[in-house]
Amino acid sequence: MAQDNEGGERLQKVLAQAGVASRRHAEQLIVDGRVTVNGNTVTALGTKVGIQDRIEVDGQSVQRAEGLHYYLLNKPVSVITSASDPQGRLTVVDLMRDVQVRVYPVGRLDYDTSGLLVLTNDGELTHRLMHPSYGVEKTYRVWVQGPVGINALESLRQGVLLEDGKTAPAKVVRVSGNSNGSNLKLKKDPLEILEVTIHEGRNRQVRRMFAAIGYTVVKLERIRFGSLTEENTLLSGAYRPLSIREIKDLRSKVGL
Ligand code: URA
């Protein structure tokens, strides 16, 4: 039970939100000893419950009304994009400690990729955001062992052939470094920074696109997901709820 669960909700509120009774009547049910939490009768009105707690009224299980929740996380490297990991590695859900509802990542970022990740319990939105037919753009900042010539950029823009088929044309912008060889005077293999925008979501797609044209990605960060960007404001490992406007924008992008 969650008496010490700071982030939990008051039992009478949860019962009322679940449609069991009005708030006042829910309090009476509790006082009358008709409510159990994880099998234990609870009569204290201040009791807080977390999402994991099992609530029953008169022996009948209460289905909690969770509502839809949306978050944006700045995923650090060395965290797995999954709700659980058999190998016990830190997951993105582990990072969202104060979130009482179960939310799931929309798509995935590799273990060694950082950046913006949406988590929600809105299944229909998740499905559509991940489907390439809706064309939701994702922008990645890519640190690559250069020098990267014009031809390489052109190949990415045209689409490159991977083992699971040719990629759709990408938008590519050079952030640092240039193709005229000036970097070569400084270093043999300069690190260059590019921004690449794609709307597909294949496994390790950006890394594989660069590998296919002969380059190694040294570091990869997602800096935009649809209309969501967060330059320097969301610290690594931090998350925040999406605003109503951001939710509306995301949903309308995919016809919801
Ligand atoms: N492309 C990759 O290679 N890795 C990611 O995590 C996302 C896109």
HEC assignment per residue over 64-80 = CCCCCCEEEEEECCCCE
Nearest to 107 by CA among 89, 120, 94: 120
Is there an atom of ligand 1 within 6 Å of 144 CB?
no
Distance 206 CA to ligand 1 centre (A): 5
Identify the pLDDT of residue 90. 95
Alpha-carbon span 125 to 107, nearest angstrom: 11
Identify the pLDDT of residue 165. 97
Nearest to 196 by CA among 146, 149, 143, 246: 143
CATH architecture for residues 70-132+229-253: 2-Layer Sandwich (3.30)
Identify the pLDDT of residue 153. 96
Is there an atom of ligand 1 within 6 Å of 139 CB?
no
**pLDDT by residue, tens only, the chain of 256 residues:** 544 444 578 898 888 777 788 788 899 999 999 999 999 999 999 898 876 788 999 998 887 777 889 999 999 999 999 888 899 999 999 999 888 788 889 999 999 999 999 999 888 899 899 888 898 999 999 999 989 999 999 999 999 999 999 999 999 999 987 655 444 445 566 899 999 999 998 999 999 999 999 999 999 999 999 999 987 789 999 999 999 999 999 999 999 9
Fold matches, 70-132+229-253 and 137-225: yes
Beta carbons of 201 and 174 less than 8 angstroms apart: no
Candidate of 110, 160, 218, 222 to mutate for ligand 1, largest count of ligand atoms within 8 Å of Cβ: 110
Identify the pLDDT of residue 189. 66
Alpha-carbon span 22 to 152, nearest angstrom: 64
Beta carbons of 118 and 225 less than 8 angstroms apart: yes
Identify the pLDDT of residue 161. 97
Is there an atom of ligand 1 within 6 Å of 206 CB?
yes
Identify the pLDDT of residue 21. 80
Identify the pLDDT of residue 233. 85
Fold for 9-61, please state it: 3.10.290
Tell me the whole-structure pTM to 2 decimals: 0.76
Catalytic choice (85, 94, 110, 249): 110
CA angle 170, 194, 169 (to 5 degrees): 5
Alpha-carbon span 67 to 102, nearest angstrom: 11
Identify the pLDDT of residue 3. 42
DSSP conformational letter for 254: T
Identify the pLDDT of residue 79. 97
Parse the chain into domains and list their residue ranges.
9-61, 70-132+229-253, 137-225
Fold for 137-225, please state it: Alpha-Beta Plaits (3.30.70)
Identify the pLDDT of residue 1. 55
58 carries an active-site annotation: no
Encoded tokens for 186? 């400084």
DSSP conformational letter for 133: G
Which DSSP helix (H) or strand (E) runs through 141?
strand 138-145
